[in-house]
Amino acid sequence: MTAAENRTETGVAGRPYHLLAIETSCDETSAAVVRNGREVLSNLVSSQIDTHRQFGGVVPEIASRKHVESITVILEEAIRASGVALHQIDAVAVTQGPGLVGALLVGVVAAKGLAMALDVPLIGTHHIAGHIYANRLIGEMVYPSMALVVSGGHTELVLLEREGSFRIVGRTRDDAVGEAYDKVARALKFPYPGGPHVDRLAQEAAEAIELPRAWLEPDSYDFSFSGLKSAVLAEINRAGMKGEALNIPALARGFQESVVDVVTGKAMKAAREFGVRQMLLCGGVAANRGLRDKLTRLCEEAGLPLLIPPLKLCTDNAAMIAAAADLKWRRGEFTPLDMKADPQMSLEAWSVKETEASRL
């Protein structure tokens, strides 16, 4: 019997199991080795931020080329640093989508090659499931739970009725939160990625310029940030035309307060409506001080447990991909070797298969 057929929740025929994971969906090349689905033995991330900064955002062609340059070294280093021998790797997980197609392809090709060479199963994994399951690397997840996913490419409220089941109850209709932060930061002449600069200014500001909040329809959990972004640009233009000095920290704080009010407000409302037992915050923007503080306070007031991964597990990394792939590993749901990178991959369709036992 192969290791894959012998797997259990606690190991492969009594011994621990190891997933090797690869993430290349955007501008980070990452590889990780995770033991028993939760113990991170290594998690290497090579960021391309310095390369893309000069262009003010991620250039897909350059991202793919950089992944090709880094992937072998990052993989070798992740395996070496984990202390695990190649023959102890039980499955290879890789981000299949969503993401930049050329970037995803680099990881997918490497993962297929490794799975074939090591003769172990391949697990094509959803990037957002990875962001959500980063939380399982730091704490116990309970169900039903509500995940607020905020990153440079995604803004979603995801209901997890059971382990590994994903239902999107709200999503952005235009920009992702991180994208809005980066665009506002750019208008204020900060380098890419601008989110952390706006966050810092907002913390330092003594006052806030009041900006609109996009609540949309009363029963909607969707988001929209394009109106807010336009309001910020209008403030900048207004000051410029009048020759007035712009209060940049007050504008940053006004922008941040509007974003944080709306995303936390909708997350708490959804948590109440769906009667969840836990809130999860994840994605690169989970690093935002204002967002973490407010969501922490609201969850405390509501008596709702909250998990937020540490910074290095919030931004793109391969350990989170292993954490999500573990859902499939434990159920024996593997991906054929002829799978393709899927830039538009559906999170809901990636949910684990519903079994008789899980439906009870």
By CB under 5 A, tell whether 151 contacts Zn ion.
yes
CB of 90 to ligand KG4, least distance (A): 27
- In the shown chain, the binding pattern of residues 235 to 274 toward ligand KG4, with x for contact by CB under 6 A and - for none, equals ----------------------------------------
Q: What does 171-201 look like in DSSP terms, one character per residue?
A: EBSS--HHHHHHHHHHHTTPPSS-HHHHHHH
Largest CA distance in the chain: 76
Which of 35/131 has CB closer to ligand KG4? 131
The set of residues, in sequence order, having a beta carbon less than 8 Å from that of 142 and lying 6+ positions away, is 277, 278, 305
CB of 149 to ligand KG4, least distance (A): 9
Q: Does 153 bind ligand KG4 (CB under 6 A)?
A: yes
Nearest to 311 by CA among 91, 43, 71, 36: 43
User: Is residue 317 at the binding interface for ligand KG4, with CB under 6 A as the rule?
Assistant: no
Sequence-separated (6 or more) residues with CB below 8 Å from residue 323: 34, 37, 38, 130, 133, 134, 136, 137
3-state secondary structure of 143: coil
Residue 224: name the closest of 283, 154, 172 by CA: 172
Q: Which does 178 bind (CB under 5 to 8 A by kind): ligand KG4, Zn ion, none?
A: ligand KG4
Classify burial at 118, counting beta carbons within 10 Å of its beta carbon; exposed 0-12, middle 13-18, buried 19 or more: middle
Of 23, 182, 235, 257, which lies in the binding site for ligand KG4, with binding defined by CB under 6 A?
Answer: 182
- Does residue 195 touch ligand KG4 according to CB under 6 A? yes
CB of 99 to Zn ion, least distance (A): 8
Among 181, 190, 329, 334, binds ligand KG4 (CB under 6 A): 181
List interacting residues with ligand KG4 (CB under 6 A).
Answer: 26, 151-153, 178, 181-182, 193-196, 199, 283-285, 287-288, 315-316
